[in-house]
Every structure is written in structure tokens, then in C-alpha cells.
């Protein structure tokens, strides 16, 4: 399954919401969750992870919440995914520490590593700024026009 997890989706939504509602102040999880119908507790966990990753900062207490610490231009989709669900590996063996029982006779390891390398390069250069509403820049890959 090649799918974004809900954690990642919620993280991206929250970061964009913080960016859009930026008034210098802090926005509490409750508000973000209500605006986007996200389960509050779960979003709480996601925000905690984003805090540890250094993309947002928090204050407790009344009028507390989260605020962006970096401009979206410096937040990449790759890093967000990595923060929320660990390193991106297309296959177990891409993680050097792990292996699989097919490894010794595997005829797809190298090509898959190359695919992964390029997937990583793509999501590492794709910033959340390009997710802003009405962002004009198309997300292009220049891989030719033969789209099946």
C-alpha cells in the first residue's frame, strides 16, 4: 500500500493551518482539531512529534498552543513524514540494519534502491510552501510526457 498515514495528513493540515492563521500568537490543538474535524487527542500526539522535530513550538496554559517556528519554505514533506512515522523505506532492506530472507537472491534490490533514492529526493525538495492555498507553482518532475 502506497498511502499517506492519517498522522502525516493531520500533521500537514496542522502546519498549513498554523501558517494560514499566523497572527504571532499561539493556536491550541483544540481549535485546529475543530476546524478540520480531526480527533483532538490524536492531533495532540502529532503536534508533540512536530515539536520534537523542531517545526513548531508550544506554550502551556491558557492562551497557549502551538506556533510555527520555521517558515513553510523550510519544511519539506519528506521531513514531516520522517518526523511522524520514522524514516521512509520502500523495502525493509533499504534500512541497513534490517534485512529479509530474500536478500541473498534478490534481483530487485538495486533498482528499488534507485527508485527510493529518487522518491526521497522528490519529497525532500518539496516544501509545504507549495501546499499553500493558491500557490501558483506547479509541482513538476520533468520526467517526460509519456503518462500512461
Partner DNA sequence: AAAAAGGGGACCAGATTGGTCCTATTTTCA
Partner DNA sequence: TGAAAATAGGACCAATCTGGTCCCCTTTTT
- Tell me the number of residues near DNA by CB under 7 A: 27
User: Does position 100 bind ligand SF4 by CB under 6 A?
Assistant: yes
Q: Which does 148 bind (CB under 5 to 8 A by kind): DNA, a second copy, ligand SF4, none?
A: a second copy
Question: Does residue 127 contact residue 72 with C-beta atoms inside 8 Å?
Answer: yes
Q: Which does 74 bind (CB under 5 to 8 A by kind): DNA, ligand SF4, a second copy, none?
A: none
Question: Does residue 102 contact residue 37 with C-beta atoms inside 8 Å?
Answer: no
Q: Which is nearer to ligand SF4, 59 or 103 (CB)?
A: 103
Rg (CA), the chain: 18
Question: Which residues 6+ apart lie within 8 Å of 50 measured at CB?
Answer: 11, 14, 15, 56, 66, 80, 83, 84
Q: Which is nearer to a second copy, 69 or 129 (CB)?
A: 129
Q: Which stretch binds ligand SF4 (CB under 6 A): 42-50, 69-77, 107-115, 132-140?
A: 107-115
Amino acid at each position: 500500500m502506497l498511502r499517506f498515514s492519517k498522522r502525516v495528513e493531520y500533521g500537514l493540515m496542522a502546519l498549513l493551518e498554523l501558517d494560514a492563521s499566523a497572527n504571532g500568537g499561539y493556536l491550541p490543538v483544540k481549535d485546529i482539531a475543530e476546524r478540520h474535524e480531526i480527533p483532538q487527542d490524536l492531533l495532540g500526539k502529532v503536534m508533540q512529534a512536530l515539536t520534537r522535530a523542531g517545526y513548531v513550538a508550544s506554550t502551556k496554559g491558557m492562551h497557549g498552543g502551538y506556533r510555527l517556528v520555521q517558515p513553510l519554505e523550510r519544511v519539506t514533506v519528506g521531513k514531516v513524514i520522517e518526523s511522524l512515522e520514522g524514516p521512509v523505506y520502500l523495502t525493509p532492506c533499504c534500512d541497513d540494519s534490517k534485512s529479509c530472507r530474500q536478500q541473498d537472491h534478490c534481483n530487485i534490490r538495486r533498482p528499488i534502491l534507485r527508485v527510493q533514492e529518487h522518491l526521497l529526493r522528490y519529497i525532500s525538495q518539496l516544501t509545504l510552501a507549495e501546499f499553500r492555498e493558491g500557490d501558483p507553482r506547479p509541482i513538476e518532475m520533468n520526467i517526460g510526457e509519456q503518462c500512461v
